[in-house]
Structure 1
Amino acid sequence: MPGPTHRVEFEQMVLGRHTFLRPGGTRPKGTDLDRSAYILLSRLDMQGAMSIGELSDAFGLNHSTLNRQTAAVVRDGLVERIPDPAGGMARKFRITARGRRELETARQAHVAALDRVMADWSDDDVAAFATYLQRFNTDIERLDGRPWPRP
């Protein structure tokens, strides 16, 4: 009989399969942001302007992957390239007002989807789940050496 860690592994795999909680799709209804744009915008919104190198360190992705992702969000007007506010040589990426609006729309769509999933949960159950999920994520971040900023 598999132990509790096996159950966590299985449930994590299944959760990853439910990409953005929309059956048959990659995004909840009400948002045009794909997963990589949503995560990138969330990070820039939380942390502020970042260079390709800083994004690479934060996400553990190579520069070419991030160049493709940032080019797409710049092209869509969600992010802009700016000179380093600290005077450094590398240009940085900053979320635009449109990007912030799109992110907020997407976030509201995700919260609405989660509200539907957890409609029968008590507030205490939702809070406990959020606490355990944050603990799980922060322990991964601690081992990986890449903490994610939180509000």
Structure 2
Amino acid sequence: MLERLERELMLLSRHQVLARRECEHERLERSAYLLLNRIETQGPMSIGQLAEAFGLDTSTVNRQTAALLRCGLAERVADPDGGMARKLRITAEGSSRLVADREFNRSCLARVVADWSPEDVRELEDALTRLNRCAETLEGREWPRPE
């Protein structure tokens, strides 16, 4: 019963990878894109908070965030809430790159759904939102949305 859904989701991720190849500007790595999106949505976060948010080992997130720091996409700051752990905050460069990638992704999506009605696009958005929220509930990790 779920064969088609699994296959279509696999193909969807494949198409995203292909779209990354056709871009003129330097794209963010997938992990950088996800981390920067989360930090942008939630504000400064510690390595531990990011590891928890993504369900990853701290050492994995430490490597990924070290790459963000090296590229100047994020910076370490004192905890705005006065805690001991330093937090990562997106830089102006990180924000600029994130916006550029997001705009590129949206332009690719616009080409894909160019012949769709607005109702069809909303229906897909609603179905994907429902799918993601159900997965988040099962994982016990909600992805914050700017709604």
TM-score range, shorter chain: over 0.9
Whether contact under 8 Å (1:21, 1:113) holds in the other structure is: no
Q: Is the 8 A contact 1:21 1:28 kept in 2?
A: no
Asked if the contact 1:36–1:69 (Cα under 8 Å) also holds between the matched residues in 2, the reply is yes
Measured on the aligned residues, the alpha-carbon RMSD in Å equals 1.5
> SS in structure 2 opposite 1:93?
strand
Residues 20, 126 of structure 1: alpha-carbon distance in 2 compared, 3 angstrom cutoff: farther
- Cα distance change on mapping 1:88 and 1:76 into 2, 3 Å: same
Q: 1:109 to 1:31 in 2, by over 3 A?
A: farther
Q: Work out whether 1:17 is the aligned partner of 2:14.
A: yes
State the Cα distance separating 1:7 from its structure 2 match: 1.6
* 1:39 corresponding residue in structure 2: 34
Say whether 1:79 aligns with 2:74.
yes
Q: Which runs of 4+ in 1 moved over 3 A?
A: 27-31
TM-score w.r.t. the length of structure 1 is 0.90
In the alignment, the residues of structure 1 paired with residue 84 and residue 6 of structure 2 have an alpha-carbon distance, to the nearest angstrom, of: 43
2:119 match:
124
Question: Would you say how many aligned residue pairs link Structure 1 and Structure 2?
Answer: 146
TM-score by length of 2: 0.93
Match of 2:137 in 1: 142
Question: Once the 2 structures are TM-superposed, how far is the Cα of residue 122 of structure 1 from its aligned partner?
Answer: 1.0
CA distance in 1, matches of 2:129, 2:85: 33
Q: C-alpha distance in 2, partners of 1:112/1:19?
A: 12
Aligned to 2:109: 114
Q: What is the distance in 1 between the residues matched to 2:63 and 2:32?
A: 11
Q: What displacement does 1:30 show?
A: 3.6
Deviation at 1:6, TM superposition (A): 2.2
Gaps of 5+ in 2: none
| Structure 1 pair 120–31 and aligned structure 2 pair: CA distance change class (3 A) | farther
Unmatched 5+ stretches in structure 1: none
Identity across matched positions, percent: 51
Partner of 2:72: helix, strand, or coil?
A: coil
